[in-house]
A and B are shown apart, each in its own frame.
Chain A
Amino acid sequence: MKKYRILAAAVALAFATSCTTDFLTVENPKAKPIEDYFNTETTVFESLVAAYAPLHWPDWFGGYYNPVNIASDVMADQIWPGGGTATDFGDLKYLARYDADGRYTLPGLWSAAYSGVKRSNDVLLYIDWAREAGNISAESAKLFEAEARALRVFYYNWLWKFWGNIPYYEKNLEDPFVCEQIKADEVYDHIITDLEGVIALNVLPMVRPESEAGRVSQAMAYMLYAEITMYQNDASRLPTALNYMKAIIEDVHYDLLPDYAEVFKESGEWKSETIYDINYMSEGGRRDWSWVTGEGGTILPRLIGPRGWEDGYAGYLSGWGLGPVRTSTVEMFDDADARKAATCFDVASLAEAGGKTYENTAYQHTGYYLQKYAPLDANRQGCIADWQMNFNNNLRVYRYSETLLNAAELVLRNYGSGDAAAWLNAVHGRSLPGTTVEATLENVKKERALEFVGEGKRYWDLVRWELTADPDGIQASKVLTGHDEMNFRQITWSSSKKYIPIPDAEISAAAGTAYPLTQNNY
């Protein structure tokens, strides 16, 4: 009988083996559940690093070329959209004509910015988890919180400036994954309050050591504060903005570089003039067509490079002809202005100098491209993936010269005291040595027009200055009006153009939920 008992036991065992839930619970061998992972100082920092990552996406993300500086500047008066054909870079063309609709409105930038928001929110959640687990020091927790919140403001700033009335959330969404769309002014209230909180934490260093270049600093937060409050024309906060500018000016780490052209070279990165750059690198660059979010370089130089250029000639590579510099912009500069050559890349002359003929094949070709981010062969060396996406040019976000011009403007607009003339002329005199200009608001505006071509400042300046007439003779008569010299833009800017249309796909995805999206009245 023993045999049968063994057999019965075997049968019972066989039937019982799989009924435990243990058997059906398998672990992913290459990943951990987030709750088990993001609860230490080290891993929270990793999540913070991931929150920085979307900063480098917009130049090519989700199938769209939406570099923030070019997407901003095509709506102003200094560059054309250009490209290969009349329909190339379609969404930028529609924006440039003030003729956008929901099909053509920077969906790449929209998604990248919200990815940044979501990741920043996650960092704040994970800090709580790590605190509960007792695995993070109070200092680190505070520092990471400041960084994550500053980043969140930075991302919302993109969304707020372009789209204005947007869904806003500070805790990540759960089923059914929708939230309320709020008015632009309410968005402003949220983000400026959030930023004030960051500054009040007072844990960010005024300047980062070289090894941490690219992480948020207090000076970066100040510049962000000035940008947002000045764009909102928030009189109650502009005096504070001025004080922040003065704090940067007083800081010994920050100063102008003597040579304007140097600012945009690889060698000029993270020198005294740099307050904030988005980092890109070519050495070991892994960004690729199949891995656009991989870390590495930028595609911006390739986008704005001269079409039809012989690759490698005079150290330059060819490009896709985006953002040709308008002839009127070239003419705006005094010939002696160091900024002229550093801004306007005269391709035909360079070709002729070497006995080559440059045959333009781009749309809206003017003969000039943007020198600041021109595709230099030297700037894409050492990349592992496709060289087109791996230029090492950092994207200049905030420079010390902007600090000076912000400060001068705020003084001249009577938001506080300061030596506006010295600040203005520090910028002016660097590029036109020995000359000075009078400290007037108009001269500050003119200086900004000369200083920041192609840096994504001009359009927002024009909007906040509400420039519809020609107060200063620097082509502002054509600013934001239709019927420009190429007869390209036929629609005149009006206040309804301030907020571009929300991508259609978002409107349709939110339709029928508790929070449908209302399209901007563009």
Chain B
Amino acid sequence: MKKLLTLILFVGLVLPAAAQSLLLKGVVRDSAGEPLIGAFVVEQGTQNGTMTGVEGDFALSTRRGAAIEISCIGYTTQVITNNGEQNLVVVLADDSQMLEETVVIGYGVQKKSVVTASIAKVDAEALEKSAQLRVDSALKGLAAGVNVTSSSGQPGAASRIRIRGTGTVNDSNPLYIVDGMPIGIDGIDYLNPNDIESIEVLKDAASGAVYGARAANGVILVTTKKGSKGKASISYNYSFGLSSPWRLREVLNASEYALLTNEGLINAGEAPIYSDPFAYGEGTDWQREVFNFNAPQHQHEVSVSGASDRFNYYMSLGYVDQDGIVGGNYGRSNYNRLTLRSNTSYTVWDSSEDRSFLNKFTLGSNVSYSNIKASSIEANGQFNTVVTSALAMSPILSVYATEEQAAAQKAAYGDLVTYGANGQMFMIPGASFNDMINPVAMMNLPGDKNWTHKFVANFSGELQIWDNLKFRSSVGFDMGFWGSDGYNYLYYLSPAVKNDEHTSVWSSVNRNLSWQVENVLTYDKTLGDHSFSVLFGQSASAYNGQNLGGSRWHVSDLNKPSIDYASGLQKEGEMSVYGGPFDPARLASYFFRASYNYAERYMAQFTVRRDGSSRFGSNNKWATFPSFSLGWNLHREPYLQDVKPEWLSNAKLRFSWGKNGNEAIGNFRYTTLTDSGENNSIFGNPEQTVIGNKASALSNQSLRWETSTQTDFGLDLGFFNNSLTFTVDWYRKITDGMLMEMNIPSYVGENKPIGNVGIMSNSGVEFELGYKYSVNDFNLRVNGNATYLRNKLIEYGNETGWAEYGSFQGAGSFLRAENGKPFTYFYGYKTDGIFQNMAEVNAYTAVVLDEEGNPMTQLIQPDAVPGDVRFVDVNGDGSITAEDRTDIGNGTPDWTWGINIGMDWKGFDFSMMWQGTLGNDIFDATRRIDVRGTNQPAYILNRWTGEGTSNKYPRFIIGDKTTNWNASDLYVCDGSYARLKNIQLGYTLPAKLTEKFLVSSLRVYVAAENLITLTSYRGFDPEISSGNGYSLGVDYGVYPQARTFTFGVNVKFGRPRNVK
């Protein structure tokens, strides 16, 4: 132990130099003549050594003739003899072997040059620049084939990640593996992106196959940081940011609102109510009342890392505190996270020089803890959310009641009226606003406070058995504790949002534990030009958990809401409790992978995994997932050496095929269990509840995994010594046996069983481009990626071949899944302008057959009047019916792209990241026509008011009962956008200045997130996903993403870093 401590303390500072007779002095440079800082200069076989300084200089005393080893990561090690030289210049050659990029492939790493599968890699540098709270958000725009859509701008909100499209109508989330440990998607925000060394996204079946039954939707491998040998660094990062909405929606001001209301009432055949619309002026800007401008966020980050021959450590502490731009100032949308991590490894013995068996044993542990406190508001709902209410509130009304209003409200609602922090009574809008409410009053309500503690620990031992035969065993735990607390006082905000009967308080706690044990044998061997790598492994994992919660009425003191400090009685039904174990789940697996390459010219890889899952019946517990891939490095063909042009430095063809599974389908669905839920009856007089019990469902014992089969062709090219690289992949992925409720008649009298009935297809092309350029002190890096995706639901699995996935109040259902269409798409009427006059209505006719079969001409829209929408008679039956609804767009982009540009010059660095989509639509469901009093979006000013005034928006009617606003393409907007996601400018102070304070590097930067968004969409944000990812592009009034300006500083202490 003492030795360990010594190591920690001294590695990277000064290795103790024994007093010896002969002093050797010199400098170490690289091949370009630049000094190498931090290179090791050690007398072989001893602890005697030193490291080079800022000028690459060193001085070491040893006995004369001692062998001195000079080493530096990324360079070939040199051994020299101490001959007392005082101005020695050592030039270390680049170690091209070591520098060659490696890729994490699951249970191992592989040189990028021999990778045959389709894997996208994102490194720490790119993640640092994107500076996101969550690993899912951080991936946005960085990898081809990985579509990341922010669900909203709520701090800490999860993003929707789809790897190569939506794989199934069920859970399409990828599998996250963090340092070998699978982490559930709900808990993935325990991970601090600053701790990540690299992320590999396994996209094709061949790369995912080693994770078999869980890989159908892709695998995200996260590797966290380690210490670097030769470096000991303590770093501290701080950033402070201010967030604001990047745009407000254009809505009517008070005068416009009054004018339009009058017009709409007249059109509805009612009397206007505002005698002098212009008297109202601008009125209340509800968006300004609701948004939290300049919402602050802070981030602190400390890490210490380093390594010696035997010990490697990385420890970090991270803290984030972020206020949301809607409700963050009311404690309703806030995120606060503390993370701690310790990654260490220790070589217990290393006798690889002495013997060939059992010669090396390494222990490792990755331990992390996170604590999250968060609150959130509904981010994309059509009924009375803070944002939708802000859009719907009349600008004539004010946040706080006028004296007259206050008196009336007090009389009507008594103690149910609520007050703001300023002591003023909140205005309660009238019945003409339906469920919409005063959004500021809503934010003022106490929200639920959510909390999470999560521990993830993974321990491993690796033993070198013989030659290159290694055995690695690991055990990991993921332990989570989370819950929420809330209370309610008495209030009345609207007929739909009120609590007028009793106060209450509630609380819940949950815990879960996953463990995993893995044992892996690997053997690598190179014999001449033949290289083999074989892996055989076993894995077992289990999950269980439990919850407990309760609630109670009649809070004794609203300032101290707790269940114990409330007076509701259980026998009165005023106190309730619930809880119990979660469904346990287990997975057992064996996997095998064999890789072969001949002279790194021809590559082949075969992977098979056999998984057994507790989620299936005894006849279907096990399934096998095979895959293979092939690669061909053309540029290494000897016979092409003379033919290939000088500038072509790399050309690789890849092909892969394989099957992956999806077992994320819930538990116990193969069997029939008791169901004590909804089966009680009432007997007796007086009546008494009698407990009943029944079978839960009809069972389908032949239930099995969803299986996806994927084929991938890839081409990698490198030009000009690989300074320009280009990769293209084409793939096709078919998911078969998607689980759906079986479409059988309801007369079975029971919940219907689940069956493997659906089919989904995804195909696409992915491009990645990289360019590096250096001249003098100027470096430029450009990385771009673009993805084309085509998603198609081939077979939904029910009788009709379609299903509704969403509707909008007043417009009806508009979101569907349907065979042959993207999952999901917008469904509604096609419009063809506005009827300008009666003649146009009368001219809109079709020839149909009458009852006797004779052709006759009839009006297609007989009820229409000028100013109404002309709908397209899609099915040509001469009238507009529900059958005329058709595909009017969808939220899945055709193209997703990202561009990263980085440059540095002397101490300055600059980076920016653009990302965007093309070809996706948005269904703008933010205008509720059923709410009579609602404010209107500004585009309503372009309504039809007479012949020639508009050919898009129909006449405006309050309480519109016409079909004009049925779900149609009038709601659909182009959702394509290009966004400057990040832009950052930094300056690193000259080391000479900072070194005096033991600071090796001090960088300051300014950055902006979402600085520029180019889109034709009129809403808050073109990026929207909700409803478990199904409702992509449906805008009910989404909580928008913020534009954030950040100032930050990065400080590194200790000895200078290796500059390279």
- Check if A34 sits within 8 Å of B695, measured CB to CB: yes
- Check if A32 sits within 8 Å of B674, measured CB to CB: yes
The reply on A416 being an interface residue by CB < 8 A is no
**Bound Cα distance A293, B675 (Å):** 13
* Chain A residues with CB below 8 A from B100, complex form: none
- Given A24-B612, A28-B583, A281-B687, is A33 in contact with B747 using a C-beta cutoff of 8 Å? no
- A53's partner among B671, B678, B747 (CB-CB below 8 A) is B678
- A214's partner among B581, B673, B682, B692 (CB-CB below 8 A) is B682
The reply on A270 being an interface residue by CB < 8 A is yes
Nearest residue (CB) in B for A167 is B747
Q: How many of chain A's residues touch chain B, expressed as a range?
A: 35 or more
- Check if B684 sits within 8 Å of A50, measured CB to CB: no
- Check if A50 sits within 8 Å of B679, measured CB to CB: yes
- Check if A21 sits within 8 Å of B621, measured CB to CB: yes
- Check if A23 sits within 8 Å of B540, measured CB to CB: yes
Output the least CB separation between B511 and chain A (Å).
14
The reply on A56 being an interface residue by CB < 8 A is yes
- Given A24-B588, A118-B748, is A14 in contact with B683 using a C-beta cutoff of 8 Å? no
- Check if B693 sits within 8 Å of A114, measured CB to CB: no
**Bound Cα distance A43, B695 (Å):** 12
- B471's partner among A11, A215, A510 (CB-CB below 8 A) is A11
- Check if B681 sits within 8 Å of A279, measured CB to CB: yes
Nearest residue (CB) in A for B679 is A50
Nearest residue (CB) in A for B749 is A118
Output the least CB separation between B669 and chain A (Å).
11
- Check if B745 sits within 8 Å of A18, measured CB to CB: no
- B750's partner among A24, A52, A118, A509 (CB-CB below 8 A) is A118
Interface string of A1-23 (1 = CB under 8 A from B): 00010010001001101110101
Interface-facing stretch out of A169-177, A233-241, A252-260, A483-491: A169-177
The reply on B44 being an interface residue by CB < 8 A is no
Output the least CB separation between A521 and chain B (Å).
20
- Check if A177 sits within 8 Å of B745, measured CB to CB: yes
Interface string of A173-207 (1 = CB under 8 A from B): 10111110000000000000000000000000000
The reply on A294 being an interface residue by CB < 8 A is yes
Output the least CB separation between A285 and chain B (Å).
9
* Chain B residues with CB below 8 A from A172, complex form: 748-750
The reply on A435 being an interface residue by CB < 8 A is no
The reply on B636 being an interface residue by CB < 8 A is no
- A211's partner among B588, B621, B683 (CB-CB below 8 A) is B683
- Check if A177 sits within 8 Å of B748, measured CB to CB: yes
* Chain B residues with CB below 8 A from A47, complex form: 692-694
Output the least CB separation between B568 and chain A (Å).
11
**Bound Cα distance A293, B681 (Å):** 10
**Bound Cα distance A41, B675 (Å):** 18
- Check if A177 sits within 8 Å of B742, measured CB to CB: yes
- Given A28-B667, A110-B746, is A17 in contact with B679 using a C-beta cutoff of 8 Å? no
- A269's partner among B539, B685, B746 (CB-CB below 8 A) is B685
Nearest residue (CB) in A for B746 is A111
- Check if B693 sits within 8 Å of A178, measured CB to CB: no
- Check if B746 sits within 8 Å of A506, measured CB to CB: yes
- Check if A33 sits within 8 Å of B672, measured CB to CB: yes
Output the least CB separation between B676 and chain A (Å).
8
Within 8 A of B (CB), among A23-50: 23-34, 37-38, 43, 46-50
Within 8 A of A (CB), among B643-680: 667-668, 671-676, 678-680
- Check if B691 sits within 8 Å of A18, measured CB to CB: no
Output the least CB separation between A147 and chain B (Å).
11
- B690's partner among A19, A49, A167 (CB-CB below 8 A) is A49
- Given A114-B746, A173-B748, is A17 in contact with B540 using a C-beta cutoff of 8 Å? yes
- Check if A49 sits within 8 Å of B680, measured CB to CB: yes
Output the least CB separation between A176 and chain B (Å).
7
**Bound Cα distance A18, B690 (Å):** 44
The reply on A86 being an interface residue by CB < 8 A is no
The reply on A377 being an interface residue by CB < 8 A is no
Within 8 A of B (CB), among A80-132: 107, 110-111, 114-119, 122
* Chain A residues with CB below 8 A from B358, complex form: 4
Q: Which 10 pairs across A and B sit closest by C-beta, in order of nearness?
A: A118-B749, A49-B692, A50-B679, A50-B692, A18-B540, A18-B588, A31-B673, A29-B581, A270-B685, A114-B749
7 A-B pairs (CB sep. < 8 Å): A26-B586, A29-B580, A34-B673, A37-B693, A172-B748, A177-B748, A179-B747
Which of A's residues lie within 8 Å of B, judged by CB? 4, 7, 11, 14-15, 17-19, 21, 23-34, 37-38, 43, 46-53, 55-56, 107, 110-111, 114-119, 122, 166-167, 172-173, 175-179, 210-215, 269-270, 279-281, 283-284, 291, 293-295, 382, 384, 392, 503, 505-506, 508-511, 517
10 more CB-based (< 8 A) A-B contacts, given A31-B668, A284-B689: A4-B358, A18-B540, A31-B673, A33-B673, A43-B693, A50-B681, A52-B683, A117-B749, A269-B685, A294-B678
